[in-house]
Amino acid sequence: MKKALILGVTGQDGTYLADFLLKKNYEVFGTFRRTSHKCFERLEEIKIFDLVHTIKADLADQGSIQNAIKKSDPDEIYNLAAQSFVGTSFSQPILTSDITGLGTLRVLEAIKQLTPNIKLYHASSSEMFGNYPEIKNENSPFLPRSPYGVAKVFAHNMTKHYREAYGIFASCGILFNHESPLRGLEFVTRRISYEIAQIKFKKKTKISLGNLKAKRDWGFAGDYVEAMWMMLQQKTPDDYVIATGESHSVEEFLSLASEIAGLGDWHDLVEIDPEFIRPLDIDDLVGDPSKAKKELGWKPKVNFKELVKMMVEHDIDYFRHYVDPFDISINRN
């Protein structure tokens, strides 16, 4: 039985990847960062928490990374842990640089020192491309426009350096935006689906959003984790763009979500909040997944409309059955 260590198993991607690997008959270990609140909700939601061996670790702490590798003794490591919210990186650039950038270097050093034969998947990001105007592929230049994007460029290039300098099997997945019902509420797609559901059940009247014109290449996270695994099954490591090849605006996502929820025209439901306007933003991100399709045999299964429908219906179902524990009007007898 193969063993895999997922750094950042409690996030959206970590949860879908753990589920995917368990179905491939892997023994799955996953790291989580100690916090003052519960962090296993996603694993519990898809009913795999009891099947994953969890290990406390933090990308800011070299010793805990080494301990996680020693304890799991994995065949494959998936480095998904990061400060991954672009908006937060503007207010916390040092933290983002340490965790997202230097954290990856700590992982690479641990592999080099402990088990150089391990296969590593590193989560790079489409944010590295910034506003480069064309459809992005593996050879497109990096022009990041956020501290998160800058940190990801460092981590990406350092991963390639360790691959070339020390012969580590390290592949980088340059994943474009990938969403799901397990996406965090701080991300605009999930904020839309969640708050649309709240409006439908009259729990609020407005959604606060930022730049509605920004366009992104949105796919389904469950499809994208399969590409991560495929990269580590190749004979040689390489870098791959994982994307759908088409982009849609925040406004399109919002309009479709409102339609699916039966709320009609979205214009009266939205207010623009300056808090959500970034100092720098990317106008349009769209990727070319041709290499992944040709060499990995990968292609997305869920299209844009299906993704929005999946997310909205998930959140509508949640509020349909939601009971406010502080609602004193509920008869509890």
**Domains in the chain, CATH or no CATH each:** 3-179+217-242 (3.40.50.720), 188-216+247-284+303-320 (3.90.25.10)
DSSP 126: G
Residue 283's φ and ψ, nearest 5 degrees, are -70, -45
Q: What angle do CA 13, 16, 22 make, to 5 degrees?
A: 130
Query: Tens-digit pLDDT profile for the chain (333 aa)?
Result: 999 999 999 999 999 999 999 999 999 999 998 764 668 999 999 999 999 999 999 999 999 999 999 999 999 999 999 887 788 888 899 999 999 999 999 999 999 999 889 999 999 999 999 988 889 999 999 999 999 999 999 999 999 999 999 999 999 999 999 999 999 998 999 999 999 999 999 999 999 888 899 999 999 999 999 999 999 999 999 999 999 999 999 999 999 999 999 998 889 899 887 777 777 778 789 999 999 999 999 999 999 999 999 999 999 999 998 756 445 444 433
Q: What angle do CA 12, 317, 301 make, to 5 degrees?
A: 50
SS3 153: helix
pLDDT per position as a tens digit, 203-241: 999 998 888 999 999 999 999 999 999 999 999 999 999
SS3 62: helix
**Cα 255 from Cα 133, distance rounded (Å):** 26
DSSP 31: E
Other C-beta atoms lying within 10 Å of the C-beta of residue 145: 19
Strand partners, 61: none
Residues designated catalytic? 125, 127, 148
Whole-model pTM: value is 0.92
